[in-house]
């Protein structure tokens, strides 16, 4: 009030330039007939929930990439790695349901109040269009995560649309963007969801609000006009307060809901894997209705009833001509509303309750296809060598060192480096050939079949096997010659590079700083460089993110610590690093400052190549297969991969590659030897689990939080596999453990050949 009188006298600084008071008057000071009411807040609540969807939606687009290859991984990234990503996605996901509920409440209220009656018909009709747009947003948003649920629900949804008479097919193709559900569907749905429909909604909301303000709030039917006039007050602040309080309650409810029930992300969509498609709960009644409508009646459920419903709803203000707003004097309209609402809610509940699911057989069938392929003939070593020459040698070199191209491609690995070989699991190599590796290595899954990729992985492994300089390796070359017959034998890698210099002293010279950090430093200094996990046991471990610590240490001090080790626990690295790498490592350590850098702990869920193609692989009879059999299931393979890399990341630094604990025994005399039979037998799996998760003694940190329970279980299997082979009749506990042991034996076999130079074991 004070402001206003001032402004009428002499406009202030802002008023003169913006005309703010007029805007305020139009926006906020419009009188409400009958005063503020809690019941009048639902429209504002809807507006608030829409604004929340806009904000969270915009945030999500920052990390979302709509394409078949990237949609699911980017949503997974948002959900699992982006800070607060789970909350923003949760709020957007559940916010959609919230909006549907609020829409229903708002509409029922408007209907009961008779707020659609003359002259407010258009306000109602715009509202119905808003409802349709919101449902359109729900439908288009459902596809975007590209998980199984999204894929199949949209496939069914598009199927329903295609049953629309005459234009159905066209409509489906138009929405789909292409002949099948794929990239073009995702980009189209994304555009509709993120630009077109929200734009339409904003326009409709402006019109809706304009019409609302034009005609004023609908007054309760039970109050007399005189009383209403007496109670009038401006929108601000009375009604705004009530709106804000309710919005706050809704928001807190939504946050709590999101914390308790995070938005789900299913498995990545796979058109070959059966899935029980279900739409979001508010479309369920329509979905279930189709169970009961057959043949010519089908279109009744997919098109006629919904269309009729919306047309009726849209034109309702002109159909209901009664001038009364008191519900007691509108029996037909109110009973229609009651029947309509009750049947919508009832059908929704009924549909969700009676929904029959058949999880078991479907899940069983989904696993079936894996073993469809059976061996048809072995791949000859000759063929592998030719394949390597053709596909790989141009970058990696015939001798596998990659030396020729390294000046241009610094990250290329040296296959003859033991350090590189030790840092890679068999599956990791296979995976990189299959999928490619950033930034330059292409994936070969389209070009080569599974056996060829496996054979190449073995070939890559063989580069590190040092032939004795005098006597050639006994059986390998001769075996090759026998098979090659009269043709001049393509020499296996060990022979191809006989002039290869002995593995150079700085064996890690060609690992990237991140690889070195992961392999040698991370177990103690943690992913974020803070070292907080081991601080209790090692109070002197520095915090790399601490700016004070960073400035107090010179580059040469850090270099000296890295090269010569420090204190009882930090091992010297000078036999593992060359001169230039130390500088890189120091730079890497520096970049942890202020928490700016975090090492990614796990390579995301591994897409494990599955056996396929007509010409599977069997190793030559006289050669030991170095890679586990392709028969292991995807899941087992992925778990083995994860456990192996976990062991590499967290355990190898102290326990050593063979689990003997040799590297640390001097400073940690009580470190166990995993290969020791009595020790293995005296500890139960549960004890292992507890030690991994909660730590042990003063030096073994707790890995709780870095390692999940399931991963810990797999790590236990890994530790068991490090032990001596089981005696005869005692069978391994699980299929997984057995597979693991098999892989470990093969690995040990390989390691035995590599052992003399294996760095951390010394």
Partner 1 sequence: MDADFPETPGPRRRFLTLCTSALATVLGLLVAVPALGYFLAPLCSRLGKSEAGPEFQPIGPQDSLPIGQWKLVSFEVVNQDGWEKARSRRSAWVRRNAEGNTDAMVLSPICTHLGCPVSWQPDRSSFICPCHGGVFDANGNNVAGPPPRPMDPLESRVEAGQLMVRWQDFKIGVAERVPVRG
- Site of interaction with partner 1 (CB under 8 A): 68, 152, 155-156, 158-160, 162-163, 169-170, 173-174, 176-180, 182-184, 187, 270-278, 287-288, 290-291, 293-295, 298, 302, 356-358, 361-362, 365-366, 368-369, 372-374, 376, 445-446, 612-614
Q: Report residue 737 as tokens.
A: 């453990």
Nearer to partner 1, 112 or 300 (CB): 300
- The smaller minimum CB distance to partner 1, of residues 169 and 735, is found at 169
Rounded distance between C-alpha atoms, residue 433 and residue 252, angstroms: 48
* Beta carbon nearer to partner 1, 230 or 307: 307
Q: Which is nearer to partner 1, 278 or 330 (CB)?
A: 278
CA 293 distance to own-chain centroid: 38
Please confirm whether the linkage preceding 371 is cis (ω < 30° from 0): no
Cβ distance to partner 1 smaller for residue 174 or 349: 174
Measured from the CB atom, is 299 or 599 closer to partner 1?
A: 299
The nearer residue to partner 1, 372 or 686, going by C-beta atoms, is: 372
Query: What's the closest the beta carbon of residue 307 comes to partner 1, in angstroms?
Result: 16
Give the nearer residue to partner 1 in terms of CB position, either 284 or 419: 284
CA distance 615 to 35: 80
Minimum CB separation of residue 185 from partner 1 in Å reads 9
Instruction: Tell me whether residue 124 or residue 152 sits nearer to partner 1 (CB atom).
Output: 152
Q: Which is nearer to partner 1, 17 or 357 (CB)?
A: 357
Smaller CB distance to partner 1: residue 183 or 584? 183
As measured in angstroms, the least distance from the Cβ of 388 to partner 1 is 24
CB of 291 to partner 1, least distance (A): 5
Rounded to a whole number of angstroms, the minimum distance from the CB of residue 261 to partner 1 is 24
Q: How many CB atoms lie within 10 A of CB 413?
A: 25
Q: How far is the CB of 615 from partner 1 (least distance, A)?
A: 10
Distance of closest approach, residue 104 Cβ to partner 1, in angstroms: 25
Pick left, alpha or beta for residue 83 (phi over 0 → left; psi -120 to 50 → alpha; otherwise beta): beta
CB atoms within 10 A of CB 6: 13
Residue in the structure block whose two tokens are 């054979």: 455
Name which of 332 and 358 has its Cβ closer to partner 1.
358
Residue pair 617/378 in contact (Cβ under 8 Å)? The answer is yes
Q: What contacts 24+ positions apart, CB below 8 Å, involve 533-542? A: 533/701, 533/702, 533/703, 533/706, 534/699, 534/701, 536/698, 536/701, 537/698, 537/699, 537/700, 537/701, 538/567, 538/569, 538/699, 540/567
d(CA 573, CA 590): 18
CB 739 within 8 A of CB 628: yes
Cα dist. 564→113, 450, 556 in Å?
A: 82, 45, 12
Cβ–Cβ under 8 Å, residues 146 and 78: no
The answer to whether residues 266 and 149 touch, using CB atoms and an 8 Å cutoff, is yes
- The SS3 assignment for 233 reads strand
- Look up residue 533 and give its DSSP letter: G
- Beta-carbon contacts of 711 under 8 Å, excluding residues fewer than 6 positions away, are 642, 643, 646
Identify which of residues 291 and 596 has a Cβ nearer to partner 1 in the complex. 291
Q: For the chain, give me the number of helices (H) and strands (E)?
A: 36, 2
Q: Which of 637, 660, 648, 649 is nearest to 762 (CA)?
A: 660
> Taking the complex as a whole, how short is the minimal distance between the CB of residue 699 and partner 1, in angstroms?
48
Q: How far is the CB of 370 from partner 1 (least distance, A)?
A: 8
Burial of 145 (0-12, 13-18, 19+ CB in 10 A): buried
In 10 A of CB 674, how many CB atoms? 23
Instruction: Kindly state the smallest distance separating residue 274's Cβ from partner 1, in Å.
Output: 4
CA 48/CA 656 separation, integer angstroms:
57
Contact 538, 706 (CB under 8 A): no
By beta-carbon proximity to partner 1, the closer residue of 164 and 597 is 164
Our CB check for partner 1 shows the closer of 270 and 622 to be 270
Minimal distance, residue 174 CB to partner 1, in Å: 6
Using DSSP's 3-state secondary structure scheme, residue 10 falls into: coil
CB of 403 to partner 1, least distance (A): 34
Residue 484 belongs to what H/E stretch?
A: helix 475-484
Smallest distance, partner 1 to C-beta of residue 155, A: 5
Q: How far apart (Å, rounded) are the C-alpha atoms in residues 81 and 78?
A: 6
Task: For partner 1, give the closer residue by CB, 56 or 430.
Answer: 430
State which residue, 292 or 549, has the beta carbon closest to partner 1: 292
Q: How far is the CB of 605 from partner 1 (least distance, A)?
A: 17
Least separation, in Å, of the C-beta of 140 and partner 1? Answer: 15
CB of 208 to partner 1, least distance (A): 24
* Exposed / middle / buried, residue 605 (Cβ in 10 Å: 0-12, 13-18, 19+): middle
CB contact at 8 A, 417 and 510: yes
Report d(CA 151, CA 275) in Å as an integer: 9
Q: How far is the CB of 358 from partner 1 (least distance, A)?
A: 5
Whether 155 contacts 181, CB under 8 Å: yes
Min CB(138)–partner 1 separation in Å:
18
Q: Nearer Cβ to partner 1, position 293 or 405?
A: 293
How far is CA 745 from each of CA 418, 653, 739, rounded to the nearest angstrom?
Answer: 19, 21, 10
Q: Is residue 661 a contact partner of residue 674, using CB atoms and an 8 Å limit?
A: yes
Q: Which of 50, 8, 45 is nearest to 138 (CA)?
A: 50
CA distance 394 to 388: 9
């Amino acid at each position: 009030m004070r402001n206003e009188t001032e402004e009428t006298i002499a406009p202030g600084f802002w008023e003169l330039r913006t005309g703010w008071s007029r805007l305020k008057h139009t926006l906020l000071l419009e009188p409400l007939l009958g005063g503020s009411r809690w019941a009048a807040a639902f429209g504002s609540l809807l507006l608030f929930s829409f604004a929340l969807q806009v904000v969270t939606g915009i945030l999500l687009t920052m990390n979302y990439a709509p394409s078949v290859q990237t949609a699911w991984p980017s949503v997974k990234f948002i959900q699992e790695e982006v800070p607060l990503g789970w909350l923003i996605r949760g709020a957007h996901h559940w916010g959609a349901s919230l909006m549907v509920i609020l829409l229903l409440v708002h509409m029922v209220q408007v209907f009961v109040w008779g707020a659609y009656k003359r002259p407010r018909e258009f306000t109602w009709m715009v509202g119905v269009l808003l409802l349709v747009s919101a449902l359109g947003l729900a439908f288009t948003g459902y596809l975007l995560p590209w998980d199984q649920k999204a894929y199949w629900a949209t496939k069914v949804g598009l199927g329903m649309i295609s049953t629309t008479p005459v234009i159905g097919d066209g409509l489906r193709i138009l929405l789909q963007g292409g002949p099948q559900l794929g990239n073009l569907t995702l980009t189209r749905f994304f555009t509709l969801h993120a630009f077109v429909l929200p734009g339409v909604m904003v326009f409709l909301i402006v019109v809706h609000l304009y019409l609302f303000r034009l005609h004023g709030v609908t007054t309760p039917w039970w109050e007399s006009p005189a009383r209403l006039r007496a109670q009038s007050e401006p929108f601000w602040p009375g009604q705004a307060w009530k709106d804000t309080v309710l919005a706050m309650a809704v928001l807190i409810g939504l946050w709590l809901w999101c914390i308790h029930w995070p938005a789900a992300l299913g498995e990545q969509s796979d058109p070959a894997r059966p899935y029980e498609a279900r739409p979001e709960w508010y479309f369920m009644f329509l979905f279930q209705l189709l169970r009961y409508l057959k043949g010519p009646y089908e279109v009744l459920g997919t098109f006629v009833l919904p269309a009729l419903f919306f047309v009726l709803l849209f034109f309702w203000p002109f159909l209901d001509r009664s001038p009364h707003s008191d519900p007691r004097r509108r029996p037909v309209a109110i009973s229609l509303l009651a029947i309509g609402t009750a049947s919508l809610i009832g059908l929704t509940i009924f549909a969700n309750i009676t929904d029959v699911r058949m999880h078991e057989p479907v899940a069983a069938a989904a696993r079936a296809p894996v073993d469809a392929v059976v061996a048809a003939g072995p791949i000859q070593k000759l063929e592998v060598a030719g394949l390597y020459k053709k596909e790989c040698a141009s970058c990696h070199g015939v001798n596998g060192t990659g030396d020729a191209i390294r000046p241009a491609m610094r990250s290329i690995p040296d296959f003859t480096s033991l350090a590189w070989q030790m840092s890679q699991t068999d599956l990791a190599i296979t995976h990189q050939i299959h999928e490619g590796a950033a930034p330059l290595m292409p994936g070969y899954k389209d070009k080569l079949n599974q056996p060829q990729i496996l054979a190449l992985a073995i070939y890559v492994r063989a580069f590190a096997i040092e032939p004795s300089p005098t006597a050639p390796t006994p059986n390998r070359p001769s075996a090759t010659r026998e098979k090659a017959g009269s043709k001049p034998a393509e020499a296996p890698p060990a022979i191809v590079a006989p002039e290869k210099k002995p593995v150079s002293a700085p064996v890690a010279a060609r690992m990237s700083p991140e690889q070195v950090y992961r392999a040698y430093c991370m177990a103690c200094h943690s992913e974020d460089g803070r070292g907080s996990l081991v601080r209790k046991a090692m109070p002197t471990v520095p915090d790399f993110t601490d700016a004070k610590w960073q400035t107090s240490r010179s580059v040469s001090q850090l270099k000296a610590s890295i090269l010569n080790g420090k204190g009882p626990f930090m091992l010297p690295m000078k036999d593992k690093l060359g001169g230039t790498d130390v500088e890189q490592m120091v730079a890497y350590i520096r970049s942890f400052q202020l928490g700016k850098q975090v090492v990614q702990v796990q390579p995301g869920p591994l897409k494990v190549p599955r056996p396929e193609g007509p010409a599977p692989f069997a190793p030559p009879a006289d050669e030991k297969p170095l890679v586990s059999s392709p028969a292991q299931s995807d899941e087992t393979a992925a778990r083995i991969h994860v456990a192996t890399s976990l062991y590499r990341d967290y355990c190898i630094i102290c326990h050593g590659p063979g689990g003997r604990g040799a590297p640390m025994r001097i400073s940690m005399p009580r470190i166990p030897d995993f290969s020791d039979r009595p020790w293995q037998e005296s500890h139960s799996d549960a004890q292992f689990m507890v030690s991994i998760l909660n730590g042990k003694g003063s030096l073994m940190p707790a890995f709780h939080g870095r390692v999940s329970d399931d991963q810990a279980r797999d790590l236990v299997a890994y530790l068991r596999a490090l032990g001596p082979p089981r005696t005869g009749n005692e069978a391994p506990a699980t299929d997984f453990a057995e597979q693991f042991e098999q892989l470990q034996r093969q690995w040990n076999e390989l390691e035995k050949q590599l052992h003399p130079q294996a760095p951390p074991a010394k």
